[in-house]
Amino acid sequence: MRKYSYLLWAGMICAMGGIHYYPPLDGERLIGWSIGLFFLPIVLNLVALVWKRLAADLGWLRTAYLCCGGALLLLGSYVIANGGLDKAPVKTESSVVTLKNIVAGRHSKAYTLRVPSWRSDRDEEELRVNHQTYNKLKVGQEILVEVHPGFLGMPWYGQVTPGEQAKR
């Protein structure tokens, strides 16, 4: 199964790389799908091991690894194509920081901002930013967000900067 897991890893790297470089506005859902697709064949493999059916289930386990790895590659390619081929004009949206959050992992930290959404179908947006941007901003401060429509119709955001009030 090891050689089939390489496709799974390649797909996960592609998907997470695309989400990192061209962060979709609804990225939580894509991250959830990526994690689910990554762990599904691993969990199935563990179940087959526990039930001592690995030899009997080898065929469909191989298929699960190949399908999930391929799906992750397609998902990552979609996100990369959506952002990389997007040549539409950038729209700048204004919002206000309502919550700042740091999620610390073993070797990294994720800095997120929650802001009221400028889209009619959403109440709020969660934006991942780098630590410099995170440290510059305060709760209640206006921000400007570069929003791209996406070549394949999935909106993504670019730079997040302090709004006009901060420049005065």
- Among 49, 84, 119, where does a domain finish? 84
- Among 20, 51, 84, where does a domain finish? 84
pLDDT at 168 over 50: no
Output the pTM of the full model. Answer: 0.84
pLDDT per position as a tens digit, 49-90: 887 776 666 778 889 999 999 999 999 999 999 999 999 999
pLDDT per position as a tens digit, 4-40: 889 999 999 999 999 999 999 988 889 999 999 999 9
Q: What angle do CA 120, 123, 125 make, to 5 degrees?
A: 100
- The domain in which residue 119 lies consists of 91-167
Residues in the chain: 168
- Among 23, 56, 84, where does a domain finish? 84
Task: List the one residue out of 5, 76, 79 whose CA is nearest residue 38.
Answer: 5
Do 80 and 6 fall into the same domain? yes
Do 68 and 116 fall into the same domain? no
Do 126 and 76 fall into the same domain? no
